[in-house]
Structure 1
Amino acid sequence: MMQPTNAWTPPGPAMLFCPADRPERYQKALDRADVVILDLEDAVSPENRVAAREALIANPLDPGRTVVRINPAGTGDYRRDLAAVLETNYRVVMQAKAEDADSIIDTALQTIALIETPLGATRVNEIAAAVNCVGLMWGAEDLVAGLGGKSSRFGPDEDRPGQYRDVARWVRSTVRIAAAAHNKFAVDSVHLDIDDTAGLIGEVRDAVALGYTATACIHPSQVNHIRDGYRPSDDEVDWAQRIVDGSAEHKGGVFKLDGQMIDGPVLRQAEVVLTRAIAAQTVSASSENQA
């Protein structure tokens, strides 16, 4: 599968949205998170988008840790957003409401495709295959609005309060599978209920189990919960190291550990845990340096 040379990947798991018309928040957001997503779309009212683009250009951040969310393809704001990005050192954009591969290719930049419409969900595999698509993210609220629905989650008087409804879960799963099929990273959607810490922690735990690379968020208080969720526990690291060591001892063959038969798929899962542990140490060291 073709990919951009030296394709960008998130340097850490917590990706924090920041309205692009609030430049006084830019650096604060970047200091708190691993990646800041400067938002020219939903977080900015139409009348403030000119000022937002001017702020984007006038207040540079580390381009390796910054993504710019641009408006949907086919809109006047989309073209103006791209022109503004080209006035900066940023080279990674998030395409809102991505619906076809051509709209990704048209950016001519490394692009995270945001799958948040019914049409985008049905075309996610061809979108993921676009040569400059480096990753996928999904969004529930625009998706449900496009369905003519009213809520992406079950309400307090329903059987699974706070959890995603089945259609949203299907898109979440489809996006993750498409990303893996095309060797692109996947970003899990935001948890809008800032006070629902338990819900956020549960979703992050599930995202990690399914191989998501990062989780987007809307408030700095969510960042550490995301980082903690992506950081393997000491017990997980110990389990993974014992499996890797055991595999080496048995020359890659099947062996038994703590009553469990260890074969190739389990070894690969253990290797992923160790990779995440190393990545978490890097993120932690970077955060300490920023402090």
Structure 2
Amino acid sequence: MTHPAFRFGPALLFCPADRPDRFAKALDRADAVILDLEDAVAGDAKHAARVALLSTPLDPERVIVRVNPASTPEFADDLAALLETEYRTVMLAKCEGTADLVDLADLEVIALCETARGVLAANEIAALPNVSALMWGAEDLVASLGGSSSRFADGRYRDVARHARSQVCLAAGAHDIAAIDTVHLEIGDLDGLRAEAEDAVAVGFAATACIHPGQIEVVRESYRPDAARLEWARAVLDAAEGQGGVFAFRGGMVDAPVLRQAASLIRRAGG
């Protein structure tokens, strides 16, 4: 099954859709902008946000529009506004199953699995042919469980959040689509953001979402392979030419999974 190619990242920046004065600046700073019609916009500003979406066009190849959940009254209005624009990549908030995507069949979808139901349905959602990526969210997930905190006092995610993150990543990988890591809410905690972004890229996430422009460069640096690692990747792929199977390289064993990891590093560096 062929899914749309995920072309965004690694640093995606949320921007409230009722703040058109920020649209161009957000797009200039980030690799792609997520114009948010959901949580970033108060209920009485939803209409103004849709108007701004229509009246402030950006490059559609670098824009994702987050719409309200399919179960809400706002969803139909969001979709109607979206279809009047050139934007064709939609992030569906609080996606809880394949039925939520029925009205989005002609659009590229990034499904946001951020409730208990959504996380458990991630594999089925990822199988739909118009889904290009899955993203997870910690705070809505914990709220859907009746909890009050996704992290321990030291900043580490609680086990249920880590499980959800892993499940979404695995579901995306199983269907050869992208996985997007969730936002780091502590804007000033750049060290914590860096640690999470480095972990994300190490296990296969394609991008990390940001809530502030100051987070962008940290994410980009984390996803960018360092020079030594990139040199190793190119060298080991060169050494693999003519090899029939497992071989030794610089004191280590190299097999097919190692070569795939090397190729992934080179893709992240732009070839």
TM over 0.5: yes
Does structure 1 residue 220 correspond to structure 2 residue 218?
A: no
Paired residues of 1:237 and 1:274 also in contact (CA < 8 A): yes
- 2:243 aligns with 251
Residue matched to 2:195: 202
- Of residues 154, 163, 166, the one that matches 2:159 is 166
**SS at the partner of 1:278?**
coil
Which residue of structure 2 lines up, in the alignment, with residue 158 of structure 1? none
**1:175-214 pair list within 5 angstroms:** 175-214=168-207
Aligned partner (choices 111, 114, 117) of residue 113 of structure 1: 111
Separation (CA, whole Å) in 1 of partners of 2:85 and 2:8: 20
Match of 2:270 among 278, 284, 288: 278
TM norm structure 2? 0.97
Match in the other structure for 1:289: none
Tell me how far 1:11 sits from its aligned partner. 3.3
Q: Residues 218 and 165 from structure 1, CA distance in 2 versus in 1: closer, same or farther, beyond 3 angstroms?
A: same
- 1:158-216 deviation digits (Å, cap 9, x = unpaired): xxx10111000000000000001111111000000011111000000000001111000
Describe how 1:144-155 pairs up with structure 2 within 5 A: 144-155=142-153
Whole-Å separation in 1 of the counterparts to 2:5 and 2:231: 30
Aligned equivalents of 2:100 and 2:255: distance in 1? 42
Q: 5+ unaligned residues in a row in structure 1: which ranges?
A: 156-160, 280-291
3-state DSSP of counterpart to 2:269: helix
Partner of 2:231: 238
Aligned counterpart for 1:22 among listed residues 4, 19, 23: 19
Q: 5+ unaligned residues in a row in structure 2: which ranges?
A: none
AA in 2 matched with 1:119: R
The aligned length equals: 270
Paired residues of 1:187 and 1:215 also in contact (CA < 8 A): yes
Q: Distance in 1 between matches of 2:61 and 2:5?
A: 8
Query: What secondary structure does 2:201 align onto?
Result: helix
In the alignment, the residues of structure 1 paired with residue 66 and residue 148 of structure 2 have an alpha-carbon distance, to the nearest angstrom, of 25
| Equivalent residue number for residue 44 of structure 2 | 47
- Equivalent residues of 1:185, 1:213 under 8 A apart: yes
Equivalent of 1:267, from 249, 259, 268? 259
Runs (4 or more) in structure 1 with deviation over 6 Å come to: none
Contact 1:128 1:179 in 2 (8 A): yes
Amino acid at match of 1:201: R
1:105–1:132 contact (8 Å) kept in structure 2: no
Listed one character per residue, the Cα deviations across residues 19-63 of structure 1 (whole Å, up to 9, x for unaligned) are 000000000000000000000000000000000000000000000
**1:286 aligned residue:** none
Determine the C-alpha separation between the residues in 1 that align with 2:60 and 2:225. Answer: 28
| Matched AA of 1:266 | V
Classify the secondary structure of the residue corresponding to 1:67. strand
The one-letter amino acid paired with 1:139 is G
Q: Does 1:134 align with 2:126?
A: no
Matching of residue 73 in structure 1 with residue 70 in structure 2: yes
Q: What TM-score results when the alignment is normalised by the length of structure 1?
A: 0.91
Q: Displacement of 1:251 after TM fit? A: 2.6
**Aligned-residue offset at 1:8:** 4.3
Mapped contact 1:10–1:213 kept (Cα < 8 A): no
Q: Counterparts of 2:244 and 2:53 in 1: how far apart (Å)?
A: 51
Partner of 2:34: 37
Q: Which residue of 1 aligns with 2:58?
A: 61
Deviations 1:55-100 (A, max 9, x none): 0000000000000000000211000000000010000000000001
Q: Hey, what's the Cα distance between the residues in 1 that align with 2:265 and 2:60?
A: 28
1:102 CA drift (Å): 1.9
Aligned-residue CA RMSD in angstroms? 1.0
Task: Measure the CA separation in 2 of the matches of 1:150 and 1:39.
Answer: 24
Q: 1:8 to 1:79 in 2, by over 3 A?
A: farther
How far apart are residue 123 of structure 1 and its match?
A: 0.9
